[in-house]
Amino acid sequence: MRQPNRRIAVAALGALALSAGSAPAAPPLTGDMSLGDPRAKVKMVEYASLSCTHCAVFNNEVFPAFKKKYIDTGKVHYTLREILTPPAQVAAAGYMTARCAGKDRYFTVVDAVFRGHDEMVRTGDARAVLLAAAKAGGLSEAQFEACLSDKAGLDALNARVARNAQDGDISGTPTFVFNGEKVKEGEMTAAELDAAVAAASKR
């Protein structure tokens, strides 16, 4: 059984120069990124880090079917809340890139980073994966570089992460909250998600 990452981190601005080798669900928080119908009865919040292996596995293997079944049909409103786990500079760079891509392409970048996770681990080349994710989000390499050099963007990210970790009482990623109730810290299976949605629908 996979265990969630335990440490929450803060990114340092200088760490963003990447090179090869290197709880309540409502009300919405300022800066939240969401998918689905905000009027849905079930509100799901996932606290996740882009450098978290377990978050990547969930995104790549479980989330697509869940999204199709519940989010795309208007049954669940999904919100991703950003957390940084080691290596914090990789997670921070990914989230900053997603923000720079804009609201409409935020989740495209997030998905691309998660899908490149194994490549990052295998090659140690985080920058190549992040650049590919940036391009998937419509950014040029120059825009990607400018994004990672944006101190205001980094400060805003660190503020969101600190708020998310405190408000959600988060000690590991991924952590899932349904209608304000923390359901699980660690990956959720399709069956567990079905049960969580059913339970939240009754509350």
Strand partners, 43: 77
d(CA 67, CA 54): 18
The domain spans of the chain are 13-194
pLDDT tens per residue, range 32-48? 999 999 999 999 999 99
Write down the pLDDT at residue 44: 98
CATH class of the structural domain 13-194: alpha beta
8 A C-beta contact, residue 66 and residue 194 = no
- 24 and 180 Cβ atoms separated by less than 8 Å: yes
Peptide bond into 27 cis (omega under 30): yes
Residue 110 has pLDDT above 70, yes or no: yes
| Mean pLDDT, the chain, integer | 88
Over 90: is that where the pLDDT of 90 sits? yes
The angle at the Cα of 32, spanning 141 to 107, to the nearest 5 degrees, equals: 40
Q: Report yes or no: 31 and 158 within 8 Å, Cβ to Cβ.
A: no
* 33 vs 95: CA distance, rounded Å: 11
Q: Do residues 188 and 44 touch, judged by C-beta distance below 8 A?
A: no
Q: Give me the mean pLDDT over the 161-173 stretch.
A: 92
Other Cβ atoms closer than 10 A to 179: 20
Q: What is the pLDDT of residue 31?
A: 81
Residue 28: predicted pLDDT: 53
8 has a pLDDT exceeding 70: no
pLDDT of residue 203: 79
Phi first, then psi: what are they for 48, rounded to 5°?
A: -145, 155
